[in-house]
Amino acid sequence: MRGKNCVCSALLELKSQQDQLGGCPTSCFSSLLAKLIKVDTLPFMLFTESNGPLELVGFERKSNGISHFKTSFFRIEDIDEETCCAKISLLRPLDFQGCIVDSICDVARLERTRICTEIDVNCFCAVQCLDVDLLRSIVIEPKW
């Protein structure tokens, strides 16, 4: 493996765990795990050598035109163990009202998209896994 680093190892492990959640047929417990935590994504962030998070912009065609959002949150789709090149999808950052947010501090929920890109994992120095609770819908029930 060319220059296998800790980020590559971490993403390989993350992909393995995520596959178990998503119902990978190699595990008899996978569908049980998915039902227990009700997610199929383990969100993460990547950090560059300048210690800043990787930020990408996603564009989507909507009925009323094209919308876009900026995100530092991703889902691992695939990773080549030999080259440490990974296919990641962008997660849309939303606030409590379901509006797209730009600040990491305002994120209340993450939503999967079909927007993917390929990256060379060797170009990153750190990976930060996030709480899967960010992927659940937040329901605030009235007190009365």
**How confident is the chain (144 residues) per 10-residue block, as mean pLDDT?**
72 89 55 59 90 90 85 95 94 90 87 93 90 57 42
With contact defined as beta carbons under 8 Å apart, do 103 and 73 qualify?
Answer: no
Alpha carbon distance 43, 86 (integer Å): 14
Segment 58-65 long-range contacts (CB within 8 Å, at least 24 positions apart): 58/90, 58/92, 58/113, 58/115, 59/115, 60/113, 60/115
* Contact assessment for residue 39 and residue 102, using Cβ atoms and an 8 Å cutoff: no
The per-residue b/e assignment along 38-49, b for 16 or more CB within 10 angstroms, e otherwise, is ebbbbbbbbbee
- Residue 137 DSSP symbol: P
CB contact at 8 A, 122 and 89: no
Which pLDDT score is estimated for 144? 44
- Other CB atoms within 10 A of residue 21 CB: 21
Alpha helices in the chain (DSSP H): 6-21, 30-37
CB atoms closer than 10 angstroms to residue 69: 20
Residue 93 near residue 7, CB atoms below 8 Å: no
Q: Identify whether the C-beta of residue 87 lies closer than 8 Å to the C-beta of residue 117.
A: yes
